[in-house]
Amino acid sequence: MGRPLIRRSAMPGLGLSMGITLTLLSLVVLLPIGALLAKGASYGAAGIWETVNRPRVWAALFLSFRLALAAALFNLVFGLVLAWVLARYRFVGRRLLDAAVDLPFALPTAVAGIALTALYAPNGAFGQVAARLGWQIAYTQWGIFIALVFVGLPFVARSVQPVIEEIDREIEEASASLGATRLHTLRRVILPILTPAALTGFALSLARGVGEYGSVIFIAGNIPRLTEIAPLLIVIQLEEFNYDAAAAIGIAMLVISLAMLLSINLIQIWSRRSLQDV
């Protein structure tokens, strides 16, 4: 008898793969975060709290996270609908619409901010219509919300669309043959399958919205305690060479972001376990 055939993987072994992964992860993620925490440690907990515990800083943090959360929730609903339409229906212009979803990925954020401002400014195409109705979009929190929706929508759509395409339509037909209504099938059959991917897209959209800068500063107006976002406040501190204050605000954003993302990950774990138990 000859030697048994040993199938070797095309990928390198665990040791080499783990080494490359940890090296890149350290260079790209861990070292920058470590540098931020080291800068904060040199500043001291008292200095960080003194910097953060100011009305202007709290207003900027609350504005950034509140609008990022609102935009991510909007993208969660609209992104699901958009992904469902793109995955399940065939119509004229579908490929063009499918390609347009990726535009916020490729478009520089500054260009997106300028384009949104041109549209929603008081003399813009949409801004003039809103002005006739007594509304103002640009240079208000509504403008920030629209900018965050624009940059965050593709994360939800692209996270959910492949899952929708893999759902066998026989599952829906079986549910209907058993007497279930469309709403019941959607709530008890489709949504549990889409929940993990939808939460992933929601988390990505939320994270992008919290740290978004380029597309927001043009349309926000940057009025302190009204439309001033936390990333802009960090840039202002850096321009004033106040690196300790910038690091303190960055640490506050990091802590809040980690808490929110941890909560979303826990919900994801729960949803996956619930789906496995079904």
Which of helix, strand or coil describes residue 244?
helix
90-149 pLDDT per residue, tens: 889 889 999 999 988 888 888 999 999 999 998 888 999 998 988 999 999 999 999 999
Sequence-ordered list of residues with C-beta below 8 angstroms from that of 118, at least 6 positions apart, any chain: 124
> Model pTM?
0.86
Q: Residue range 211-228: average pLDDT?
A: 89
Q: Which CATH superfamily is domain 34-277 in?
A: MetI-like (1.10.3720.10)
State the chain's mean pLDDT as an integer.
87
The predicted pLDDT at position 168 comes to 81
Number of DSSP helices (H) and strands (E) in the chain, helices first: 15, 0
H or E segment to which residue 62 belongs: helix 55-88
In 139-232, DSSP assigns E strands to none
- All structural domains of the chain with their residue ranges: 34-277
- Binning pLDDT at 50, 70 and 90, where does residue 7 land? low
CB atoms within 10 A of CB 197: 21
Residue with tokens 């004033």: 240
Q: pLDDT over 70 for what percent of the chain? A: 93
Tell me how far apart the alpha carbons of residues 133 and 51 are, in angstroms, rounded to a whole number.
Answer: 41
Give the number of residues written for the chain: 278
What spatial distance separates the first Cα and last Cα of the chain, rounded to whole Å?
Answer: 47
